Amino acid sequence: MANVTVIGAQWGDEGKGKIVDWLASRADVVVRFQGGHNAGHTLVVGDKVYKLSLLPSGIVTGTLSIIGNGVVLDPWHLKAEIEKLEGQGVEINRENFAIAENCPLILPVHRDLDGLREAAAGAGKIGTTGRGIGPAYEDKVGRRAIRVCDLAHLDDLGPQLDRLCAHHDALRAGFGQPPVDREALIAELREIAPFVLQFAEPVWKRLNTVKKAGARVLFEGAQGVLLDVDHGTYPFVTSSNTVSGTAASGSGLGPSSTGFVLGIVKAYTTRVGSGPFPTELEDETGQRLGERGHEFGTVTGRKRRCGWFDAVLVRQSCAISGVTGIALTKVDVLDGLDKVKICTGYRLNGKVLDYYPSHAADQANVEPIYEEMDGWQGTTAGARSWADLPAQAIKYIQRVQELIETPVALVSTSPEREDTILVRDPFQD
């Protein structure tokens, strides 16, 4: 059985949506295993554009789509996203969609706290998506979360709700906010409960059943390895583990099921929100990358910061996540540049580093060491074979592959599903 785990190998927004959509059309099951509706996946199928934040990308093609226990789920957002897709003609029912009954909920108190903290942090803010992701994960590990299965037992929340409210009331008081309105919270949950519960089940069981039947599973990661709460640019990270290993713990299938790990890598670098970014370009070239690459956040609409390709970071991400092969995206955004640069190492306090250190100050202070290459004048957009690419673009891709010590499995050359050069099929591996 060949399963595939897709993860972002940079700071998110690598173009996972298109690749996942393409793979989803050949998978039997698509599983989201971490993050929440902070993700933003744009799928272009024919003349239709679908924007997903929470639902697995397989939903658009009718493939069995599962939200695993590792996700944090905002039930009101779930309803809105499902209704929007249904409005676009997508059918969503118990046959093709399921939610882990042990998935923790994002509540209005989490959104409040996310906003209050960011507003109070001033220049030190993380630049979160404001969707309550971090506070919801905190309550999960703090053992006071309300989970999907609790929606069927709202009259018996008792000590769980006491713990949750006591914790939030103390934090809210610190921000000069009134305590949680318990009655209103329960009433809101009671209203949304039937909608969520119709899809709730022990998904680990369904996954293990379809696995035994030989199903091909696609694990759909969100964000990127550099936003991982352990391995990323802490504290400027998201609050989940975004590395490939989470596919197992966040879904209920064991680690041997994760299969081919496909790292999605953009041919340059972007980041949205605060935090260190060694190869950031705050000049015309950065501006040009942002414009040509349409680098605006799908979820928040924020302008993404842009910079040169950082081979050190991607090599590290690939190593940490055990990436089998990469999908290189958006090479066409580099079309027409006279020169292109790749970061191959860092200088820090007179020393040369071949990895990204963990300390926040070191991460902020490293100076990139660049290798410069000639650019290419022809276009790579829409190429479907190596023969369609300018020779210099091929050299760039080969150099990237060499520096990150991981082979290229796919090259994506436009948002269209078919504009892809397939070097190695992850499902056939």
Binding site for ligand IMP (CB under 6 A): 11-13, 38-40, 126-129, 131, 133-134, 222-223, 227, 236, 238-239, 272-273
Is residue 48 part of the annotated active site? The answer reads: no
In the chain, the amino acid numbered 56 is P
Least distance (Å) between residue 111 CB and ligand IMP: 10
Could you tell me the two tokens for 17? 């949506």
Quick one: 146 or 227, whose CB is closer to ligand IMP? 227
Q: Is 298 annotated as a binding residue?
A: yes
Quick one: 138 or 425, whose CB is closer to ligand IMP? 138
Q: Is 129 annotated as a binding residue?
A: yes
Least distance (Å) between residue 274 CB and ligand IMP: 6
Least distance (Å) between residue 177 CB and ligand IMP: 20
Least distance (Å) between residue 36 CB and ligand IMP: 8
In the sheet that 29-32 helps form, which strands lie side by side, from edge to edge? Answer: 200-201, 97-100, 64-67, 29-32, 217-220, 4-8, 260-266, 325-329, 408-412, 420-422
- Quick check: helix, strand or coil at residue 135? helix
Of 13, 112, 228, 419, which one is the catalytic site residue? 13
Q: Do the Cβ atoms of 38 and 3 come closer than 8 Å?
A: no
Could you tell me the two tokens for 16? 């996972």
Is residue 13 part of the annotated active site? The answer reads: yes
Quick one: 204 or 277, whose CB is closer to ligand IMP? 277
Of 37, 77, 110, 140, which one is the catalytic site residue? 140
Q: Rounded to an integer, what distance in angstroms lies between the CA atom of residue 191 and that of residue 194? A: 7
For 285-316, b/e burial (b = at least 16 CB within 10 A) is: bbebbbebbebebbbbeeebbbbbbbbbbbbb
Q: Is 15 annotated as a binding residue?
A: yes
Least distance (Å) between residue 91 CB and ligand IMP: 26
Quick one: 62 or 127, whose CB is closer to ligand IMP? 127
C-alpha distances in angstroms, 425 versus 23, 26, 217, 221?
Answer: 10, 11, 14, 18
Quick one: 39 or 267, whose CB is closer to ligand IMP? 39
Q: Rounded to an integer, what distance in angstroms lies between the CA atom of residue 412 and that of residue 166? A: 49
Quick one: 81 or 101, whose CB is closer to ligand IMP? 81
Least distance (Å) between residue 233 CB and ligand IMP: 9
Q: Is 325 annotated as a binding residue?
A: no
Q: Is 249 annotated as a binding residue?
A: no
C-alpha distances in angstroms, 79 versus 60, 194, 197, 203, 384?
Answer: 16, 11, 12, 19, 38
Q: Which residue is nearest to ligand IMP (CB)?
A: 273
Instruction: Please name the residues in contact with 424: beta carbons below 8 A apart, sequence gap of 6 or more.
Output: 325, 407, 409, 410
Q: Rounded to an integer, what distance in angstroms lies between the CA atom of residue 169 and that of residue 173? A: 6
Is residue 140 part of the annotated active site? The answer reads: yes
Of 41, 77, 211, 266, which one is the catalytic site residue? 41
The neighbour count for residue 183, using CB atoms within 10 Å, is 8
Q: Is 413 annotated as a binding residue?
A: yes
Instruction: Please name the residues in contact with 52: beta carbons below 8 A apart, sequence gap of 6 or more.
Output: 17, 39, 40, 41, 42, 43, 59, 60, 81, 85
Q: Rounded to an integer, what distance in angstroms lies between the CA atom of residue 375 and that of residue 341? A: 9
Instruction: Please name the residues in contact with 274: beta carbons below 8 A apart, sequence gap of 6 or more.
Output: 125, 126, 127, 236
Q: Is 34 annotated as a binding residue?
A: no
Q: Rounded to an integer, what distance in angstroms lies between the CA atom of residue 69 and that of residue 395? A: 42
Least distance (Å) between residue 203 CB and ligand IMP: 22
Quick one: 41 or 341, whose CB is closer to ligand IMP? 41
Q: Is 100 annotated as a binding residue?
A: no
Q: Is 41 annotated as a binding residue?
A: yes
Please give the annotated binding residues for Mg(2+), written as ranges. Answer: 13, 40
Please give the annotated binding residues, written as ranges. Answer: 12-18, 38-42, 129, 143, 223, 238, 298-304, 330-332, 412-414
Please give the annotated binding residues for substrate, written as ranges. Answer: 298-304
Question: Hey, which residues are catalytic here?
Answer: 13, 41, 140
Please give the annotated binding residues for IMP, written as ranges. Answer: 13-16, 38-41, 129, 143, 223, 238, 302
